[in-house]
Structure 1
Amino acid sequence: MIRAQIYLTTHERRKLTVLAHETGKSKSELIREAIDQFIETHQAFKQDKLTILRAAKGLWANRDDLPDFKMLRKEFDKRHKDKHE
């Protein structure tokens, strides 16, 4: 393991100490568990976003009821350009 120093607020330190006494775990162990859980949650969230984006790919393809987005974009770009000249 690699030693790392962190700064805690007084409130965080107090709550961590109470939790350590309640669980019988060291403060360091609780911090490592919290970091592991944060990393796992973050990675799962990233994967969920990627899955959703992949599922949405082509969602509007071959639809006749939608406007021509390329034309809308050209009109928007032209108006935006005219405003800033």
Structure 2
Amino acid sequence: MSPIDAPIDWEQPATMIDLDGKAPLIGTIRQCAQHFAIFKAEAKMQARVLLTKPVHREGRRTRTWLLEPVEIEALAQRLRDEG
């Protein structure tokens, strides 16, 4: 289960970045999750998603603008589950 408290809207604008400095993907959460799903394990570990609306995380008092690989993987799994 994702450490994010509430589901993120698939149509929310977002930007997927990686720590290697490749060109970012600017699109929606859905597009970011779709691209993440096809990445190799090494690329997944470098991926981050920058949100346009911050989300709450379990155990944190403040909201966050950045999703980590485990959270992006949870979104990719949600996308697969939803068909």
TM > 0.5 between the two? no
Higher relative contact order (CA 8 A, sep 6+): 2
Choose 1 or 2 for highest CA Rg: 1
- Larger proportion of helix: 1
- Larger proportion of strand: 2
